[in-house]
Structure 1
Amino acid sequence: MLVPLIWQKDYIKLDKDLKTITDRLSETGSHVESVYTISDKLEGLVVGKVLKQVKHPNADKLQVLTIDIGSEITIVTSAKNTKEGDYLIVIKSGSTINGQKIDDHDFFGITSQGMLTSYKEIGYDDSLIEKKSKDGVIVLSSEFKPGTPAIEVLYSNTPVIEYEITPNRPDCLSIIGMARESAASFNSKISYPSIDYPTVSDKKEDYFKKIEIKSDKCKRYTGRIVKNVKVGESPQWLKNLLMLAGMRPVNNIVDITNFVMLETGQPLHAYDLESLADRKIIVRDAKEGELIKTLDGVERKLNSDVLLIADGKEAIGIAGIMGSMDSEITENTKTILLESANFDSDNIRKSSKSLNLRSEASSRFEKQISVENSEFASKRVMKLITDLGLGEVLEDSFDEGYKNSEENEVKLRISRLNSLIGHEFSKDEAISYLKSLEFEVRDLDEDTIIAKIPHFRMDISIEADLIEEIARLYGMGKVISKPLYSSLQRGEKSPMRLLKDDLKLNLFGQQFSEITTYSFISPKEYDKLGINEDSKLRDFVKIINPLGEDYSVMRTTLLANMLTTISKNLSYKQKDLRFYEIGTSFIKTGEKLPSERQYLSMGLYGNYTFYNLKDFFIKAMARTGFRGFEFKTEENVKAFHSGRCANIYFDGKKIGIMGQISYESLEAYNIKGLALALEIDLSLIADKRLTDIRYKPLDKYPSSLRDYSFICDINVESRKIEDIIITRAKGLVRSIEIFDIYQGEQIEEGKKSISYKVAFGKSDRTLKDEEVEKIEKEFLKDLEEKDVVLRS
């Protein structure tokens, strides 16, 4: 946004130097990108009035001008856009422009006492120069005293500040908006321009019929009529301000609408009323494929999302973006209809993008403008037209749609303000800052105030917005750095998460691969596992909108997923499988939502036995902090082999099951060979984990190692044999480990051989053979009573 300071001074007087202004505005959030002047080195350039103009007697392409610059001089020029009575910019002899000194020069016998200049030569961009002066010298459109310095006439030495306006502040895309920001930043007051103007009492219906809004994309449409319009050049001051703000002058009516748009931020458009078919305006959605030729001379094909301005016959403009060529103001226009409307910001943005057409109007509409701005801007145009004597304004006007925005009030807690900013603001200070931004403020209680948000601040909706406003006006650079304070606790992993991490690490150390499967399974999985119809495992949660039957219920066991994974890997020719999964099972509790419980599932396929699985499990759990598991034979679970299955207990409570998968389940999952699986509920033991690990030094004295092979009934549990040995040793067993289980030749049918490696020892001395033999004698006697005898 370009803001010429000479223009902003019409609304606020700041007794500050330029650097102070730019520094403070940047501090309060209006980032200054650059500051420049068109040209401040125009010494020797003055206004001259053409008293006489004749052709050069000796050169057909030259003119000889007698010019009054306070004294009469002669200028020889090739410019084609001058005539007697014009006011021009003259470079007097002896002056320097663009590093070149201008002296008297003889042109075919006539001495030129200086020269004329163009806008481009003194620093104006081509895109800003009006048509009349584009290919010639500067011809002023107002009368000035001859000899007046050019700088005073063109305002070319006034600073122009370029601000970076963030998308949430469309109110700052205007001279008045930035004047408001300047006033708030320096605790000053802004003076709004007058909108009082004389009117005539003609009936509006005698000139124009009506305005119809046929789309919800138009929120308000205001139309005012001006008769006896005099279209022509704008006064020089108006041209100057437009060019400084980055717009090219066109004619007085168009220039006034552009001036007010830059001044207020409200885009406007003037239509030649005589060109409007049926004397009506219809705001409607475009028809699919409808064509319109816009002011830039391009014919555009529209879609039905584009909002149009149409008369009784055809489209005459793309709403909020650009008008058509058929309704533009010309020098023959006598009656105009001024449009001041409000359109949906999202629609303007999308339409502008789809048409690849942006304009000063669309850049403002797409960021949202308040509906109240339409009325003020419309009256402001009428004020300038009547002040300049360019026409007569009808008292009656057309106004369709919403007249006012919804009232917006936001509460602010002073305690919240101070806690976020880290500075102790008093309530009076907070109120003062908000009032400087034209917020109406009232007390609610000792700590709270309520701010009524002005219509042009559409970016304010919550308490944090008010806090930001106060902070930026105070100056974030003034806020003293303080340590962060928060009631939040340090983020840590939960005990269950730590348990899972350690368990994964220990299983990985035993060459197990982790699998992750879906929590959704098919009800058919329970049939494959042979689970009884009355089992709690079948009381599953059904999915209301499942992806299919295979994912229609929430699992209550992880075994089905484990066996499915083993089966898939066997189809890939994998023959040695060690898998584990730590996942969630969903158990109904009678509440609205099921209980989500963490389960561990382990699976083996290959050259493994029941005892291998047991050993892997015990070692992984021991290293994770769990010792003391018990295993009791289970013969009634159909998913497992009746003679090779055990329930797992911990601290006297059943927590899971393990064993060899039954032949029926193996067949159901297309698993050829023997597979073993285990499943426990980690949620039942998570709080019993031993995390206080204490280390003891290595034994100084050697162990006495013994190997024992026992013959016993096939149903005898190894745990019972181990318990007898450990009990009789009275604390002298350092370790006991099964190293072989055998059934077959030389072993009576119904019997089995179990071999143990036992290490005996003491911490303070070496055990004698006699001591070990005594212990052996005692536990062998106890075992014989249980029909467990040494293998010969």
Structure 2
Amino acid sequence: MIVTYNWLKEYVDFSLSPEELSHRLTMAGLEVDAMDHLGAGLDSVIVARLETVEPHPQADRLTCCQVNTGSEVIPVVCGATNHRAGDLVALATVGSVLPGDFKIKKSKIRGYESRGMLCSETELGLARESAGILILPPDLPLGEPLFSALQLKDVRYEIGLTPNRADCLSVVGIAREVAAIAGSRLRLPQPAAVPETSDGIADLARVDIDQPDMCPRYMARLIRSVTIGPSPQWLVRRLETLGLRSINNVVDVTNYVLMELGHPLHAFDFNRLRGGRIQVRAAQEGDRFTTLDGQERLLQSGDAVICDAVGPVALAGIMGGENSEINDQTRDVLLESAYFDSLTIRRTSKRLGIHSESSHRFERGADIAMVPLALERAAVLIQQLAGGELVRGTLDSYVRPLLPRTLQLRRQAANGLLGLDLSLTRMAALLESIGLACRELPDERLEVVVPTGRHDLEREVDLVEEIARLHGYDEIPVTLPVSRILLQKPDARQQLIGRVRDQLVAQGASELINYSFVSPTLWDRLQLADDDLRRQNVRILNPLTEEQSVMRTSLVPSMLETLARNLSYRNTDLTLFELRPVFRVSDQDLPQEGLRLCLALTGRRMPEGWAQTDQMVDFFDLKGLIEGLAQALNLGSVSFVAGSGEPFLHPGKSCCLWSGGLQPRQLGVLGELHPVVQDCFELPQPVFIADLDVEALVALGSAPVCFTPISRYPDVTRDSAFLVDAEVPAQALLDVVQQMRLVDLDEVVLFDLYTGSGVPEGKKSLAIRARYRSREKTLTDEEISQMHGRLVKEVLKKLPAQLR
């Protein structure tokens, strides 16, 4: 929002300097982003009179002027054509520096001396564009600095407002804040009394509101026999100061009142309104309507439109239509002042891509109490600037009154939040300074009536915030908070999840976090069956894009997309994991949420370096990573069972992970990515991936880690090789040994797998190494032989095996 120092003084008396006002506004929550001193450094641009104007003898488009400065007559060569002898003009004398660092020097132009420059409004920074040099009023004193003579010296503030402060989107709104800061009173502009015609507006026009939820109130006045023309200079300069372009006297008045009072208005050419009727209703689906910018708009049933007796003439609260705009032939003006629902305007404005000064205010919430004042103010100004006569009476359709909100404020609660000790009287005075009505209640409470223009004040804490900023943030003392420090120990679930992350990072994996929103097309690329439960997605009501329109039911697709993106950037050696929730459709109001762990490996086994080999990761790297995780969590025995049943995994290079114990439970799947899925995600190299159920890990829990001292006695190892069928897994052999629970058996490992010469077809040789050690004594060779013999017999008994 842009305001000026002098304009604010028209509505409130204050003695703050421009710099102090900027600081006080910023400290009150209205941050001043920029402050410009208009006319500063331009005192050398003076009022001068053209004594003679003659054509330049050597240039068709130049004129040679004799310019009277009040103390001397000097020659100036000018390139404009809109001046003549006797005009008062703006003369930039030699040495002047105009906006844009343009320096005026004494020079010769086509052989004729020029000792200054006749300036246009654009060159002085008073307008964005101009047709020629600035012609001044004839009664200004010669030699007077231009900006002082025209009373243009001012300070312009550009204030950055937060979206909730719609009440400050006007000069009067900012002036209300200044009045509170300076301890003064706000003066609202009072329209002058203007004679009205004998006939009434009700006999000539009519207003109907069909959608009270879209438009609770609509008012209108009629001004007849106006003359459309340019606006006076004071109005043009006011608008230019705010960054608005002058159009004509009627439209300029509506823009001026908009910036002054903050309430949007619209002027219709009354003679182009068919039937002399205004109807506020919802658009019909598929309606087409051309707005003032010449664009045809396709409307929907949720859009609010202003119609005459035939069809739409304006998009309510956003922009008028070409079929009713003010032009040079307009003679009668119907002036609209209304209140439109912010949600309706915001939705239509966003969908159509139209953002106007009007929609900007209605979207954030206008003040319904400002409707009559804005209408009367604009009607009187139009009559004064465009002539004509005001038709008696006002059309006022107020079908759904909006009442002020009433809140209660507790003194103790407010002081507790602010760390102050303000009296209830002081709090009431601060709130009343910005237009809130207060009444004291028992128990040190205030009843506060919030004006209809303060949509941001909804709760008690909002009033506390107003007290804080009006009292002054710099007046709040610095104190140390008094509170108790509570120790919150993570529960067993949180501890286990933390240990999972720590262990994976310790093994060289990097964690990633993807969006929970994914595309529904990912499940096709993952080759999931049509009846797969993971295809039943929770849809998002207002997705940002179709690519993020459903909640994920698996972490695998996002992991594969991340891998593909990294590989495309030539980051080829990756060990990644994601530990995040997935969301499944449930019978409850909220989706079912479960924690999953996705692991992925691809590329070389060792990082790039002088000792790096070309060995690529394989299934057993992923298996080892999971075994290390199970060991770190002390989950007990886990087993890997061939075949996963997952369509995104290679059927011959994948398996399921199961927990041990009396009631085994599937913990997840792992394996090499299926070649078809690999092509669908454009992955140029093999990927090994695991999808684990963290909730199952949590339910399984982890046994406490106990320290066992190392035995002081020596160990002895025995090796044995067994001939088994080729389809018997090595884990079956290890399981038989572990189930024996031999007291002095320290460890058993598989150290060899052999097929080939000497081994029959369909068989394989598995060799184990058992280490024996007692914690109480040194074992004899006989004791070790007996234990190892029992181990071999048990294997031969439980498995179809032969000792080699």
TM class by shorter chain equals 0.5 to 0.7
Rounded Cα–Cα distance in structure 2 between residues aligned with 1:442 and 1:426: 14
Partner-residue secondary structure (3-state), 1:377: helix
Rounded Cα–Cα distance in structure 2 between residues aligned with 1:470 and 1:166: 18
> Residue in 1 aligned with 2:163?
167
Which one of the candidate residues 293, 300, 303 is aligned to 1:304?
A: 300
Shift of the 90–104 alpha-carbon distance from structure 1 to 2, 3 Å rule, reads: farther
Contact 2:36 2:155 in 1 (8 A): yes
Contact 1:82 1:139 in 2 (8 A): no
Deviations 1:498-548 (A, max 9, x none): 689999999xxxxxxxxxxxxxxxxxxxxxxxxxxxxxxxxxxxxxxxx99
Contact 1:28 1:473 in 2 (8 A): yes
Partner-residue secondary structure (3-state), 2:216: strand
> Residue in 2 aligned with 1:5?
5
Contact 2:249 2:385 in 1 (8 A): no
Q: 1:303 deviation in Å?
A: 1.9
Partner-residue secondary structure (3-state), 1:126: coil
Partner-residue secondary structure (3-state), 2:364: coil
Contact 2:217 2:338 in 1 (8 A): yes
Shift of the 477–83 alpha-carbon distance from structure 1 to 2, 3 Å rule, reads: same
Partner-residue secondary structure (3-state), 1:430: helix
Rounded Cα–Cα distance in structure 2 between residues aligned with 1:251 and 1:682: 75
Shift of the 269–279 alpha-carbon distance from structure 1 to 2, 3 Å rule, reads: same
Which one of the candidate residues 107, 117, 120 is aligned to 1:118?
A: 120
Aligned: 1:494 with 2:491: yes
Deviations 1:37-78 (A, max 9, x none): 34323334344567x887649686566878887689688755
Which one of the candidate residues 434, 438, 441 is aligned to 1:437?
A: 434
Rounded Cα–Cα distance in structure 1 between residues aligned with 2:273 and 2:22: 47
Rounded Cα–Cα distance in structure 2 between residues aligned with 1:319 and 1:53: 54
Q: Identity of aligned pairs, percent?
A: 30
> Residue in 1 aligned with 2:219?
222
Partner-residue secondary structure (3-state), 1:361: helix
Contact 1:412 1:448 in 2 (8 A): yes
> Residue in 2 aligned with 1:21?
21
Shift of the 762–332 alpha-carbon distance from structure 1 to 2, 3 Å rule, reads: closer
Shift of the 482–490 alpha-carbon distance from structure 1 to 2, 3 Å rule, reads: farther
Rounded Cα–Cα distance in structure 2 between residues aligned with 1:40 and 1:221: 44
Rounded Cα–Cα distance in structure 2 between residues aligned with 1:104 and 1:501: 82
Which one of the candidate residues 363, 371, 377 is aligned to 1:374?
A: 371
Rounded Cα–Cα distance in structure 2 between residues aligned with 1:355 and 1:504: 47
Map 1:367-446 to 2 at 5 A. 367-385=364-382, 390-402=387-399, 404-446=401-443
Rounded Cα–Cα distance in structure 2 between residues aligned with 1:117 and 1:684: 83
> Residue in 2 aligned with 1:180?
176
Contact 1:117 1:138 in 2 (8 A): no
Rounded Cα–Cα distance in structure 2 between residues aligned with 1:72 and 1:505: 87
Partner-residue secondary structure (3-state), 1:180: helix
Shift of the 736–124 alpha-carbon distance from structure 1 to 2, 3 Å rule, reads: closer
Partner-residue secondary structure (3-state), 1:121: coil
Shift of the 735–211 alpha-carbon distance from structure 1 to 2, 3 Å rule, reads: same
> Residue in 1 aligned with 2:654?
none
Partner-residue secondary structure (3-state), 1:420: helix
Q: 1:153 deviation in Å?
A: 4.5
Map 1:661-700 to 2 at 5 A. none
Which one of the candidate residues 174, 182, 187 is aligned to 1:191?
A: 187
Partner-residue secondary structure (3-state), 2:230: coil
Contact 1:73 1:113 in 2 (8 A): no
Q: 1:336 deviation in Å?
A: 1.4
Contact 1:197 1:382 in 2 (8 A): no
Contact 1:271 1:328 in 2 (8 A): yes
Contact 1:211 1:400 in 2 (8 A): yes
Structure 2, unmatched stretches of 5+, are 504-529, 535-629, 637-660, 666-695, 716-739, 749-769, 784-804
Map 1:552-567 to 2 at 5 A. none
Contact 1:104 1:114 in 2 (8 A): no
Q: 1:397 deviation in Å?
A: 0.5
Map 1:6-405 to 2 at 5 A. 6-47=6-47, 56=55, 77-82=78-83, 88-91=88-91, 96-98=96-98, 99-101=103-105, 115-126=117-128, 129=130, 134-138=131-135, 144=140, 148-205=144-201, 208-215=204-211, 216-296=213-293, 298-305=294-301, 306-385=303-382, 390-402=387-399, 404-405=401-402
Matched to 1:165, the amino acid is L
Q: 1:301 deviation in Å?
A: 2.8
Rounded Cα–Cα distance in structure 2 between residues aligned with 1:504 and 1:32: 47
Q: 1:91 deviation in Å?
A: 1.0
Shift of the 249–73 alpha-carbon distance from structure 1 to 2, 3 Å rule, reads: farther
Map 1:537-556 to 2 at 5 A. none
Partner-residue secondary structure (3-state), 1:203: strand
Contact 1:103 1:113 in 2 (8 A): yes
Partner-residue secondary structure (3-state), 2:180: helix
Q: 1:224 deviation in Å?
A: 0.8
Shift of the 258–147 alpha-carbon distance from structure 1 to 2, 3 Å rule, reads: farther
Q: 1:313 deviation in Å?
A: 3.5
Structure 1, unmatched stretches of 5+, are 507-546, 552-619, 627-648, 650-654, 659-680, 704-721, 723-732, 739-756, 773-792
Contact 2:105 2:115 in 1 (8 A): no
Rounded Cα–Cα distance in structure 2 between residues aligned with 1:684 and 1:101: 87
Contact 1:370 1:405 in 2 (8 A): no
Partner-residue secondary structure (3-state), 1:159: strand
Give the number of equivalent residue pairs.
600
Q: 1:253 deviation in Å?
A: 2.1
TM-score by length of 1: 0.60
Q: 1:412 deviation in Å?
A: 2.3
Partner-residue secondary structure (3-state), 2:464: helix
Partner-residue secondary structure (3-state), 1:281: strand
Partner-residue secondary structure (3-state), 1:22: helix
Shift of the 302–54 alpha-carbon distance from structure 1 to 2, 3 Å rule, reads: same
TM-score by length of 2: 0.59
Partner-residue secondary structure (3-state), 2:80: coil
Q: How large is the RMSD of aligned CA atoms in angstroms?
A: 5.9
Which shifted more, 438-447 or 261-270? 438-447
Which one of the candidate residues 473, 476, 479 is aligned to 2:473?
A: 476
Rounded Cα–Cα distance in structure 2 between residues aligned with 1:63 and 1:434: 62
Deviations 1:21-44 (A, max 9, x none): 112211221111111134323334
Q: 1:249 deviation in Å?
A: 2.1
Contact 1:54 1:63 in 2 (8 A): yes
Shift of the 314–492 alpha-carbon distance from structure 1 to 2, 3 Å rule, reads: same
Rounded Cα–Cα distance in structure 2 between residues aligned with 1:206 and 1:408: 33
Which shifted more, 466-475 or 414-423? 414-423
Q: 1:408 deviation in Å?
A: 0.6
Contact 1:46 1:146 in 2 (8 A): yes
Q: 1:461 deviation in Å?
A: 0.3
Deviations 1:468-509 (A, max 9, x none): 222223333444454455568433223576689999999xxx
Shift of the 761–230 alpha-carbon distance from structure 1 to 2, 3 Å rule, reads: closer
Partner-residue secondary structure (3-state), 2:208: strand
Q: 1:178 deviation in Å?
A: 0.9
Contact 2:46 2:90 in 1 (8 A): yes
Contact 2:339 2:367 in 1 (8 A): yes
Rounded Cα–Cα distance in structure 1 between residues aligned with 2:48 and 2:191: 35
